[in-house]
A and B are shown apart, each in its own frame.
Chain A
Amino acid sequence: MSPELQELYQAVILDHGRRPRNCRVIEGGRKAEGYNPMCGDRITVHVCLDADVIQDVSFDGSGCAIAKASASLMTVSVKGLTRADACALVDRFHRMITAPPGAPIEELGALAALAGVRQFPTRVKCATLPWHALRAATDARAKVVSTE
Chain B
Amino acid sequence: MADDSRRVRDLERPFDVTAIRRDFPILEQRVHGKPLVYLDNAATTHKPQAVLETVRRYYVEDNANVRRGVHALGERATNAYAAARETVRRFLNAPDPDEVVFVRGATEGINLVAQTYGRAHVGAGDEILLSEMEHHSNIVPWQILAGEKGARVRAIPITDAGEMRLDEYERLLNGRTRIVAVTHVSNVLGTVNPVAEIVRIAKSRGIPVLIDGAQAVAHMPVDVQALGCDFYTFSGHKIFGPTGAGVLYGRRALLEAMPVYQGGGGMIGQVTFERTTYAQLPNKFEAGTPNIAGAIGLAAALDYVTAIGLDRIASYERELLAHGTETMAQVPGLRLTGTARSKAAILSFVLGDVHPHDIGTILDRAGVAIRAGHHCCQPLMARLGVSATARASLALYNTRDEIDALVGALRDVRKVFA
Contacts and interface: CB of A to CB of B under 8 A. Distances in A.
A148 to B, nearest CB: 13
B416 A5 contact: yes
A40 B365 contact: no
Contact of B416 (A4, A9, A38, A42): A9
Interface residues of A, number: 22
A39 B361 contact: no
A64 B32 CA distance: 22
A123 B361 contact: yes
A2 B358 contact: no
Interface string A64-87: 111000000000000000000000
Interface in B334-381: 354-358, 361-362, 365, 372-374, 378, 381
B388 interface: yes
Interface string B378-418: 10010000011000000000000000000000001001110
B416 A64 contact: no
A44 to B, nearest CB: 14
Contacts of B416: 1, 5, 9, 14
Contacts of A39: 357, 372-374, 388
- The interface residues of chain A, by DSSP majority, are classed as mixed
> Which among B362, B381, B412 has the highest number of chain A CB atoms within 10 Å?
B362
B391 to A, nearest CB: 13
B355 A40 contact: no
Given A40-B374, A64-B355, A120 B361 contact: yes
Contact-size category for B? 20 to 34
A65 B354 CA distance: 8
A112 B328 CA distance: 36
Nearest to B34: A2
Contacts of A63: 355
Nearest to A38: B373
B387 A65 contact: no
Contacts of B372: 39
B357 A64 contact: yes
A120 B357 CA distance: 12
A14 B32 CA distance: 23
B338 to A, nearest CB: 18
Given A66-B357, A66-B358, A1 B417 contact: no
Nearest to B372: A39
Interface string A116-147: 00001011001000000000000000000000
Listed from nearest, the 7 A-B pairs whose CB atoms lie closest are A64-B355, A64-B357, A40-B374, A39-B373, A62-B387, A65-B358, A64-B358
28 contacts: A1-B362, A1-B412, A1-B415, A1-B416, A5-B361, A5-B416, A14-B416, A14-B417, A18-B417, A39-B357, A39-B372, A39-B374, A40-B373, A40-B374, A40-B381, A41-B357, A41-B387, A42-B387, A62-B387, A63-B355, A64-B356, A64-B357, A65-B358, A65-B417, A120-B361, A122-B361, A123-B357, A126-B357
